[in-house]
Amino acid sequence: MNIFRAWRKGAVLLQTLVVALLLSYISVMIMSWVLQRYSLATRVYRKNVSMAHNSGYAMMQFAKWNTGTPSGTSGTLDGKTVTMTVGGATQMTVTTDPNQE
């Protein structure tokens, strides 16, 4: 009879270990998913802020009446440096540093 009791104790311990490993694996996968979602949301937010700064600076330059195509300039919007370069008569490129906080 002692063999069967020891076998049952071992089986219960093995089941407990398997359940603990499964729960830890599930929690790691959930945390990985949450971190990926957070990283994606942060990347999208920063891209949208950068695009808004670029568009705002371009519109500010073009809104000046009767000035023609502006020359290349640089300015600051919300603490971020925005650079504008003009190529040809109709092409204007506005860039920001996305890593600038």
From first to last of its 101 residues, what are the pLDDT tens digits of the chain?
Answer: 566 676 777 888 899 999 999 999 999 999 999 999 999 998 888 888 877 777 776 666 665 555 565 667 777 767 777 777 777 666 666 666 666 65
> In this structure, what token pair is assigned to residue 40?
């994606």
SS3 90: coil
Whole-number pLDDT of residue 34? 94
Please state the pTM of the whole predicted model.
0.47
Q: Are 37 and 44 in contact (CB under 8 A)?
A: no
Residue among 80, 26, 16 nearest 54 (CA)? 80
